[in-house]
Amino acid sequence: MQRSAGSILEVKDLTKEFGGLRAVNGCTLEVQAGSITGLIGPNGAGKSTLFNLITGFETPDRGRILFRGEDVTGLPPHRIFQRGLCRTFQIPREHRGMTVLENLMLVPPYQIGERLWNPWLRPRAVRRQEMGIRDRALAALEMVDLVAWQDRPAGELSGGQRKLLELARTLMADPAMILLDEPGAGVNPTLMRRLTAVIQRLREERGVTFLIIEHDLDLVTRLCDTVIVMSEGATLAEGPPDAIRRDPRVVEAYLGGQYVAVEG
């Protein structure tokens, strides 16, 4: 895949306070289209709040958010989602009592079968759309290697499989960009390798851009093109992973004196 030039996401002077605590403090950053960008920083740096602001779960006190050149500041989550900017959560939010396949088939909006009278008045159209959505859902499950689980309740999945399911759910929106909140947390190495492979494949085959909050610096170094470091609600540093690991500001602010930069 040939990557697109220019930025897909621009955050400009974003600020958010909660009861006098400034969680995001004039944060400014850009994410390049077609990239896999890491977002790191110490606990309390404002990373998850920034994700909430970008995806409409919180409204900023000041600043602007541009996605594909459009100002999406303050839009509700469903409208941002419909524009192709999706996110996953540190704790997956699947419908545990529904099957894995049903979890995906719920995602597409404006399904004609949702209107009370259409199953009776337009049964063929309802069935045709439903079959199309099912085919897309199976393709998404194939991408994340969960096809064998399609008829099982989502609540039976392991923690790592639930994260794969949540990523598959975002694919049902045909996203241009996905924000991942700590995809490696609680995931065993085998499933983490699978998740990493899916992320790389989606970037290469579909051109999906990723912004990833992650504390595992080895994972960030292997996976990401660029790393953005947040500290005290603002952007502290940005650059290639190897350069970030050697930046003394990052060693001090993010990792404290306990981190030893890796040479080579």
- The full set of domains in the chain, from first to last, is 7-94+173-258 (3.40.50.300), 95-156 (no CATH)
What would the pLDDT profile of 183-226 be if each residue is shown by its tens digit? 877 778 888 888 899 899 999 999 999 999 988 888 888 899 99
How many whole angstroms separate alpha carbon 253 and alpha carbon 235? 11
pTM of the prediction?
A: 0.83
What would the pLDDT profile of 136-171 be if each residue is shown by its tens digit? 899 889 888 899 999 999 999 988 888 888 888 888
Residues in Cβ contact with 23 at an 8 Å cutoff, skipping those fewer than 6 apart? 16, 17, 46, 49, 233
